[in-house]
Structure 1
Amino acid sequence: MDYIGNEKVAKMILKSEQKNEFLQRTMDKMIVKTFILISCIKVLLFPTYHSTDFEVHRNWLAITHSLPLEEWYINDKSEWTLDYPPFFAWFEYLLSQIAYFIDIEMLKVDNLNYASPATILFQRSTVMFADLVLALGVREICKQFHKSQNCSTIFTVLSLCNMGLLVIDHIHFQYNGFLIGILLLSIAKVSSVCKTTQVLQGAMWFAILLNFKHVYLYIAPAYVIWLLRWSMKDSQFFHRISSLAFIVLTVFALSFGPFVSQMPRVLARLFPFKRGLVHAYWAANGWAIYIGLDKVLSLFLKYLGWTGATKTAVMTGGLVQEQSFSVLPTPTPLITFIISFATMIPALWFLMFQTDFHIRPKKLIRCIILCGLSSFTFGWHVHEKAILTVIIPLGILAVIDANDSRIFIILSSTGQTALLPLLYPENLSLLKLLLSVIYMIMSALLLCRHFKDKLLCTHEWLYVSSLPMFTIYETLIHKCLFGKKLPFLPLALTSIYCAIGVTYCWIIYYYIYLTDNKKEINLTEVKENVQLEGKSKSQKIL
């Protein structure tokens, strides 16, 4: 009888493994098809406008190829100096070895603003092929978090076809896709809490990510707390914590070791605090609202005839520089750091002090998102594209939980609308409006049908529906009304209105995170009480 029972169990396990293999193959095919489809669209975007970031990366190719290592972070022939961590510099160096065979002129440091057709084709192609890392990250996330093909399909579409990435990477020009792919790889690995090797690999990937782009320091506190809690879950604390320390220190040593003699110069490049509170194009964050309030108060005081007591503001010049406020106090880098970290503390506290039963990857992702939103909302000199590091990880849970799905629809629509003023040429007006509206409608339809619910409240639908009007105003209405006057007004209005939506999402998501923790703690207490009652009843029977 035992033999027959064991045979049945073995058959069930085999069928389960075959089913999982079939689902994995189906998912892989779907990811490949989606990647090929979106890559075709990216190729069509090759001839479009590119920003100064195109010259930034061409210059970095030239610096890393033509200059000795000790001059990489010293050369300042161009205003677009190398200001990313060393791993990204090595990435540019590897690309430059291929660029040598495409057009050697692009690798000359003195060839400022060089953009031959071959150079454009090469640089655009490198961004597209680097997105293979994003596809790999999506695959690992689907394996770890999504148990149904429907969830995997929706997340794949929302991430690989993300409108913000199309705008920033494949029109404006940057390399955010493969960096977010490394982030997804890291999240997937550290979420495998029962597999020590996987968690250590995840820590390694995140350390590598920090050495590609230091902006991910914003979410590092969530990783620190998560890995600390994982290390403390049993008697192997010292072994785990020493393994983590060895991995992280090794990665940083490999990255910064060759530049140790010029470390002050490298750090000065990585953390340029004199660039001012806000970027040339305001990020849709709390400081955009703060600047708007300062401007309103300034105009009100001017109307009352009290302007003699105020300073002249320079917040609407669209320049990267140190700024001053007319009425409100001018924040310093230290103040913005304190506010950013202070607003992360509740999320980190709940992640740290939840019970062992509730150490779930879902908590980690929500904490990462809240840390990202806190730093985006209150950080110093935040770039508008930093919202993508929050939107795409949020998509992981958006296909699992209706609350996360609700926030995703609002935040993705709001954050990505705020990116559109970056594409200022008039011939891109229709394209950016179409990309925005199509992605908004697609994400809303996919998620609402997935959960069989409208997800958003009436006022939230009204807010999201009104977002395209700001793009229409920026591209068409403003010029009809004011011509060339008040050129910064459309961007200011877009940033402030979108900042309201981002701040709203941050507040609501914090509430969801904290109340969800309380609900699950109460659920644990109920389960424990039921178990105790069951034990007492069995003892009475005995």
Structure 2
Amino acid sequence: MFEYVISIFSLSFGPFLYMGQLGQVFSRLFPFKRGLCHAYWAPNFWALYSFMDRILIIVFRQLGWGLNDTATSSVTRGLVGDVSFAVLPQISAKTTFIITVVFQMASLAKLWRYPNFKNFIGSTILCGYSSFLFGWHVHEKAVLLIMIPFGLIATESLEHFRTFIILSISGLFSLFPLLFKATETIIKISIFVLWIVLTCLGLSRTFSTKSESRTTPKPVKSTFVYLLENVYIIGFVILQFFTGVVHQIAFSDGKYQFLPLLATSVYCAIGIVYSWVRFTVIYFFEG
């Protein structure tokens, strides 16, 4: 087994080592010289952290408290290495590395104690979550590293299924800004709706077949939680209407150009962080 691992690494990195480009590879894998957040914030924990700093800036200005003027716009400019918060504590690459490793080790600990296929997929998903939510300079497309393995166990239970749906809708919608032209709007929305409908119908049918033999009733205490989740999902319709129509009409002069990106990133981040908490509970306490 060890020989196979060495062979794979040799084939992967050998050509770059031969061409003297190994440093470039590692700079791409670990972009610590870039900013904490990408120009368009990936919908992760740091997007919520940055948004909270923006809110606190407004509060501090209203109260007349002093601020770091150079930091008030640094997070939203998308410049390489340009990371500075005006109110909240600064975040270093070392901090993100430690947080990521700690959460990954927690999920791997269960796999170490109970090595089976279900725990392997679960730990893979949680490791993907940790990297995406707490990593340094994460790109929005990295959410696919969570969604793809999650699809393998999405029909394990109703809780798995609902968590997967929330993650999928939030993750896919967060990719909308990558297709930013007005002529692309109908295309991305059509593909998004088609994917959601086919996924919900396909997976729910599989889940219904599995559930026929189960006698465990749906917990009454989950009804309110399910309601909030459904309201959150419906909120994406409002978000799309705001970013695609209202913002262009209300700010036709080009003011607040970053607002649609900020709204999309923050709203999607709420769903992805929530799905992470939801799946963590399932993995450790219900799995």
TM range (shorter): 0.7 to 0.9
Match in the other structure for 2:236: 467
2:54 corresponds to which of 271, 295, 305: 295
Are residues 485 and 309 of structure 1, via their aligned partners in 2, closer, same or farther at CA, if it must alter by over 3 Å? closer
Match in the other structure for 1:132: none
1:500 aligns with 2:266: no
Distance in 2, Cα, partners of 1:271 & 1:384: 16
1:380 corresponds to which of 116, 136, 139: 136
1:362 aligns with 2:118: yes
Distance apart, 1:436 and its partner CA: 2.0
Q: TM-score, normalised by structure 2?
A: 0.87
Are residues 437 and 307 of structure 1, via their aligned partners in 2, closer, same or farther at CA, if it must alter by over 3 Å? farther
Distance in 2, Cα, partners of 1:411 & 1:477: 26
Distance in 1, Cα, partners of 2:16 & 2:251: 51
Match in the other structure for 1:404: 160
Deviations 1:208-254 (CA, angstroms, capped at 9, x unpaired): xxxxxxxxxxxxxxxxxxxxxxxxxxxxxxxxxxxx22111122223
1:314 corresponds to which of 63, 67, 74: 74
Distance in 2, Cα, partners of 1:401 & 1:362: 12
Instruction: Determine if contact 1:413/1:440 at 8 Å carries over to the other structure.
Output: yes
Match in the other structure for 1:252: 9
Are residues 403 and 476 of structure 1, via their aligned partners in 2, closer, same or farther at CA, if it must alter by over 3 Å? same
Match in the other structure for 1:333: 93
Pairs within 5 Å for 1:445-524: 445-452=201-208, 457-483=226-252, 484-517=254-287
Distance apart, 1:402 and its partner CA: 2.7
Pairs within 5 Å for 1:65-80: none
Distance in 2, Cα, partners of 1:384 & 1:507: 19
Distance in 2, Cα, partners of 1:460 & 1:308: 37
Are residues 478 and 345 of structure 1, via their aligned partners in 2, closer, same or farther at CA, if it must alter by over 3 Å? same
Distance in 2, Cα, partners of 1:490 & 1:320: 22
Q: Which amino acid aligns with 2:167?
A: L
Are residues 410 and 314 of structure 1, via their aligned partners in 2, closer, same or farther at CA, if it must alter by over 3 Å? same
Secondary structure of 2:244's aligned partner: helix
Instruction: Determine if contact 2:47/2:266 at 8 Å carries over to the other structure.
Output: yes
Extract unaligned runs of 5+ from structure 1: 1-243, 518-542
Distance apart, 1:336 and its partner CA: 0.3
Distance in 2, Cα, partners of 1:436 & 1:278: 25
Instruction: Determine if contact 2:34/2:81 at 8 Å carries over to the other structure.
Output: yes
Distance in 2, Cα, partners of 1:309 & 1:320: 19
Q: TM-score, normalised by structure 1?
A: 0.47
Match in the other structure for 1:342: 102
Instruction: Determine if contact 1:317/1:488 at 8 Å carries over to the other structure.
Output: no
Secondary structure of 1:398's aligned partner: coil
Q: Which amino acid aligns with 2:161?
A: S
1:304 corresponds to which of 54, 63, 78: 63
Instruction: Determine if contact 1:470/1:494 at 8 Å carries over to the other structure.
Output: yes
Distance in 2, Cα, partners of 1:272 & 1:410: 29
Match in the other structure for 1:82: none
Deviations 1:8-60 (CA, angstroms, capped at 9, x unpaired): xxxxxxxxxxxxxxxxxxxxxxxxxxxxxxxxxxxxxxxxxxxxxxxxxxxxx
Are residues 318 and 342 of structure 1, via their aligned partners in 2, closer, same or farther at CA, if it must alter by over 3 Å? same
What's the Cα RMSD here?
Answer: 2.1
Distance apart, 1:255 and its partner CA: 2.9
Secondary structure of 1:273's aligned partner: coil
Q: Between the two proteins, what is the percent identity of the paired residues?
A: 40
Distance apart, 1:273 and its partner CA: 1.5
Distance in 1, Cα, partners of 2:11 & 2:184: 42
Q: Which amino acid aligns with 2:233?
A: V
Distance in 1, Cα, partners of 2:138 & 2:122: 21
Match in the other structure for 2:214: none
Aligned residues between the structures: 270
Distance in 2, Cα, partners of 1:269 & 1:391: 23
Distance in 1, Cα, partners of 2:204 & 2:180: 33
Extract unaligned runs of 5+ from structure 2: 212-217
Distance in 2, Cα, partners of 1:266 & 1:513: 34
Extract structure 1 runs of 4+ deviating beyond 6 A: 453-456
Distance in 1, Cα, partners of 2:281 & 2:261: 30
Highest RCO, 1 vs 2 (Cα 8 Å, sep ≥ 6): 2
Are residues 493 and 250 of structure 1, via their aligned partners in 2, closer, same or farther at CA, if it must alter by over 3 Å? same
Match in the other structure for 1:281: 40
